[in-house]
Structures are given as structure tokens and as C-alpha cells.
Homo-oligomer: A and B are copies of this chain.
Amino acid sequence: MKPSIPKGTRDFSPTEVANRTYIMNTIKTAFETFGFQPIETPSFENSSTLMGKYGEEGDRLIFKILNSGDFLKKADQKLLSEKESIKVTSQISEKALRYDLTVPFARYVVQHQNEITFPFKRYQVQPVWRADRPQKGRFREFFQCDADVVGSKSLWQEVEFVQLYDSVFSKLGLAGTTIKMNNRKILSGIAEVIGAQDKLIDFTVALDKLDKIGQEKVEAEMLSKGITEEAIQKVQPLFSFEGSNSDKLNSLENMLSTSEEGKSGVEELRFVINSISELGLQTANLEIDVTLARGLNYYTGAIFEVAAPEGVKMGSIGGGGRYDDLTGIFGLKDVSGVGISFGLDRIYLVLEELELFKSVDLPKPKVVFLNFDASTDVVKMKAIKSLRENNVKSEFYPDLAVSNKAQKRQWKYVTNREIEFVVSKVENDVFTLKNMTSGEQLECSLSELVNQLKA
């Protein structure tokens, strides 16, 4: 019986760990360059911290941890015999695995509010767990990479998050990403204009299909969802919503002129767009997208979403937004927060597809010393010691090969692992160094060996 792992989870090979670490370190370095500080929270929280924060569906997808010891002791006999799983849960389980990084962060801010200097710019790169149905790019254990600022309402934070996305994706060599922005207040304005907040999602979903199915069919869909002819007339400009960001802003301003909230959303977005025009971006595009309705339940201002470069089929590789009351659920009112997240697994798939991992230093030794002659062991180990002191990743093949077959196994080991350099022989303190790519061989002293491999 071959051992296996739970569905939706993964083992990571050395190469995969190296590539993932490369992405994470690029993100972390950018976070710190932008002034964010790392925190870490426990993998499991008290269930009361998590339950009820992600809706009914979320509650269902949270992994619960069984209490230790005689966990049934305190459980209600009647509920047990009626097999009331959901009601029994809270009686036999008090802890649950982290579902995202935002709720634990809100809990952290409230719990440590007296140690924190606000505004607090924190980042967090840790795994989260969801009992979701696994599918391509969706796992039951995956990493989130979040940066948030709490305690400031300044729109400069939104500007900085656009720069931060641009900076990370540019460093990763992923040119041509599109950072889409919207503002919850603009959506509220549209809802006001079309006369019903509850039709807003139907409206944006239909509008988003304009490219594919054309205006006529979009309008038909809207009508079928109960949006009135009159409402559709009022937002006609959205059907020809092309042109530059400032064209779009002007058009929105006109359209939403009767909605105070809508106008305020346009002004916020205009500030970010104008600031980014002045500051410039390296490789990303910034684009207003009024169909962006992500996180409508909690975002109250800016909404972000990042699309991979054109031609790469992949959902969003990042997203975020502003929430006016992040910590209220834990009793600390009126703390505004804004944050973004990087989707590690999807970014991985995009970089893989575009062959952008080539530059990643794989975690393998640069040189392996073959082991054909026990009498030179100590000389080799001394050389390896010098190399390691010079930060050259070095390895001594551990088992002595006497037979031809055993020697072949060592050559096969270095070939399989694509080792760059091999020391095959040492005689009178002269090392035979072979470049496995070019096939070149060099005889050299220890100091020459070190210099050669340090380069």
C-alpha cells in the first residue's frame, strides 16, 4: 500500500520549494522596501475568533480541530444520538485552522493595540486552510501573501499598493500585468442611479459580458434580471466605456452627478489615477474597471484586482481593497484598513508557463567530490571545508566506490542532479576538476579550486 497525502494538499520537491521561496522572498523584500513589517499568527485560532466571520459557506469550509482527550465527555447525549453534526461541533472542537490572514490580523491588532504604533503597516506570508473542493489551482492548504495598513484613511496608501504590485511583478519579470481598480462608492453610485442596490451584482455581471455578447444581449440580460429600461438608459455611457482612464473618470462623473457617494468614489479613484500618472509604473498597466465587484460585502472604498499579462489564461493573481471597519468585529471601532494580497499559487503557474524561473538558483551543490579512493578522504574533506567557508555549496559523495559499477553510480548521481562541477580525483594535493557542462577538465591546487568555484 503506497502512502499518500490528503486530497487538496501537496508535497513540494526541492525545485518547487526553491521556486516558491524565490517568489515569496521577492514579495517580502518589496513589502519591507515599502515599509511593511512582518507578523505571524498561530496556525489555529479559537473557533470563536473565526466562526461567523466568513458567512455560512465559510463556516462550513473552516477546518475544525478535535479537542484532545475525552472529547465526547461534555457533548450533549441527545445531539449525539440524533447525529446533529453541526450542533455537536462546538461541543467537541474549540480550535480551528486559519481560513485567511485578514481575520487573524484584525484579532492581532485588537489584542496588541497597546503595543502597536499606528498607522500599522503589516505583512504576513503564511499558509491558510479551506475544506473546499480541490481543483486546478485551488488547494486545501495554500499560502497567502498579504500587506495591509490600518489606522489611516489616506489615499496615498492606495497609490502605494498600485506601485507595490508593479514593483513585485516587474521584479519577477512578469511584464504587462493589468492592475484593475474600482471603488465601492462608484458601485453604490451606479446602484443609486439605476434605482436598486440589490441589482448591482446582476448589473456588473451582465455588463462584464459586453465584449463577448454585445450591447443588445447585455441589455436583454439586465432587463431579465429586473433592471428597468429607464435605469439602463441612465448608465448608457458604461456601454461605450472605452478610452483612457481620464475619459472614463469624466464619463463616470457626469453619469453619477446626482449621487454624492458616487462622486466621492470618482474623486478617490481620480486621485489614485492622477498620482500614478505622475509617478509612473515600471511594467504594469493601471485600468479602471467598473465591472470589478470583488469583495462587495466588506470593501468600502478602493477595490483592486490584478490580471496576468495578455495571452496567459489565469484568473486574478492578486486583489484587495479598503474596509472602513476592519477591527470592529473584535471591539475596536473605526479603524480603517486597506490591503492587498498576492496569489502565490497562481503566480507560480504563470511564471512556470512563461518560463520565468530560469534565473532561480536551485538548492543543489555547485560541486560534488567523487569517492573512489579512501586514502584521499581527509584531503577532500579539508577542501570541502574551505569551499563551504567560502559559501560554495559542496558535497562529498558519502560511499566509497571500488567497483566499476559503483563508480558509474556516482557519475550517474552527478548527472541526474545536473551538478555543474565534479572533483573526480586528488593526487599529491592536485585536484582534478571537471566542468560537467563543457566537459573541460582542469588540474589545480586547493586555492585555485576555491577561486575557480567561488566565481
Contact = CB atoms under 8 A, between A and B. Distances in A.
Nearest to A68: B131
Interface string A386-418: 001001111111111000000000000100110
A83 interface: yes
A11 B40 contact: yes
Interface in A54-93: 60-61, 63-66, 68-73, 75, 77, 80-81, 83-85, 88-89, 92-93
Given A37-B364, A92-B66, A393 B32 contact: yes
Contact of A117 (B84, B117, B156, B413): B413
A173 interface: no
Main secondary structure of the interface of A (DSSP, over half): mixed
Interface residues of A, number: 109
Contacts of A121: 395
A3 interface: yes
Interface in A92-150: 92-95, 97, 107-108, 110-112, 115, 117, 119, 121-122, 127, 129, 131, 141, 149
Interface in A374-391: 377-378, 381-382, 385, 388, 391
A228 interface: no
B154 A398 contact: yes
Q: What's the number of copies of this chain in the assembled complex?
A: 2
A354 B152 CA distance: 38
Interface stretch (A157-165, A188-196, A301-309): A157-165
Nearest to A63: B65
Interface in A3-37: 3-6, 9-14, 17-18, 21, 32-37
B65 A117 contact: no
A32 B395 CA distance: 10
Given A12-B40, A63-B68, A72-B85, 12 more contacts: A3-B331, A5-B107, A11-B39, A35-B395, A37-B364, A43-B43, A43-B97, A43-B127, A73-B85, A119-B399, A154-B400, A279-B382
